[in-house]
Structure 1
């Protein structure tokens, strides 16, 4: 039977799994596979695994318990190995890599920050600060057939929006980075121009959240900073 993998830990992790259960219906029984240096918390993988609420909760509950009690490499939902022997072989083959990563994230959590800005607010700012944008805007209002000016206005606005978003994003990351141990910048989305994860010492979680609050005040009401965490350090595994 295939093996569902929840996490990898040092072999001396407490691994107290009482009261927890695995994914599937009926719920899978948790067990631990061990090499000389590492352990993997696993269960049998259900044949019809789907991201159902009960299974997502079961997966997250296992990770939360393990992270509370020591360094843990959390696996994303749905990771399945062919069988126990193959999982043990992978632990042995990559023991140096897994060991290094466990040292890096020991005592750490992840915070995920997304930043957006109201588009109309940014456009008003650009119009107020750019003589060329105002000139082209007036021309296109007075002359609906001014296609060349309309195209130029669209290109200029698009460039200004991207440049301002990049400047703000780079500034936020630069100011918050020293409060954490590392960060990973993800792809921007249609609604968020900054999508970044920070690795933070658990003991520094409060001060990091305060730094984000201060950043939000500095950026002003036109910006929305959404902070999620503490989370398992998925982005740093």
Structure 2
């Protein structure tokens, strides 16, 4: 019977799954398939699993339960296998790699940091600090009909915005990365200037949270969105 696979853990993990039911319209109990020194946490399914709200929540609930008791290699939502035998074969074939990953992630969780910048404040800053931008803006506002002025101003401002956002994002990354065991920077979306995931060990958790708080207080005109601790999806 097809299986939905949530995560991989060590065979020694307590794996407390009592009361958990899995994804799908007819949820089956969440259980473990053990092979050698590893376990895969799974549930039986008889349908194609789509990212519906309940199923996404169930997927995360399983990871959270397992993380309470030990290290987890969380799989992204939607991973399935044909049957128990296929899962067992994968665990045995890749045992050393999975055990190495579990050791690398031991005691760690993922924290996500996203940031966006107040665009109006940035434009005001550029007009204040760039003589050329200020001159062009003053001429346009004064009624100069030269059609080249708006184009030049737009190109100048766009270049300044890109350069300043990249510089700010680089500075933010440099302030956070020293407190993490690993990090993954992704392309920002939806107007953000920063999208970074960090792998933080429990021993460094308090220092990392204090650094987050300092950023919020010290960096003006930037809105931060912090998320974590999370299963270390980005580092599996």
Tell me the CA shift for residue 111 of structure 1.
0.7
Runs of 4+ in structure 1 deviating by more than 4 angstroms, as ranges, are none
Aligned to 2:147: 147
CA distance in 2, matches of 1:189, 1:54: 25
Give the SS at the match of 1:76: coil
Aligned to 1:57: 57
Mapped contact 1:9–1:39 kept (Cα < 8 A): yes
Aligned to 1:236: 235
The more displaced of 135-144 and 169-178 is 135-144
Mapped contact 1:4–1:78 kept (Cα < 8 A): yes
Q: How many residues align?
A: 236
CA deviations over 1:157-207 (Å, ceiling 9, x no partner): 111111111111111111111111111101111321100011111343232
Give the SS at the match of 1:7: strand
Mapping of residues 166-181 of structure 1, within 5 Å:
166-181=166-181
Calculate the TM-score normalised by the size of structure 1: 0.94
CA deviations over 1:42-62 (Å, ceiling 9, x no partner): 111240422223222222121
The more displaced of 74-83 and 137-146 is 137-146
Aligned to 1:75: 75
Measured on the aligned residues, the alpha-carbon RMSD in Å equals: 1.5
CA distance in 2, matches of 1:197, 1:46: 34
Mapped contact 1:64–1:232 kept (Cα < 8 A): yes
Tell me the CA shift for residue 209 of structure 1.
1.4
CA deviations over 1:126-185 (Å, ceiling 9, x no partner): 100000111111223334642322212111111111111111111111111111111110
Aligned to 2:9: 9
72 and 139 in structure 1: CA distance in 2 versus 1, 3 angstrom threshold: same
Aligned to 2:20: 20
Uncovered stretches (5+) of structure 1, i.e. residues with no partner: none
CA distance in 2, matches of 1:9, 1:213: 33
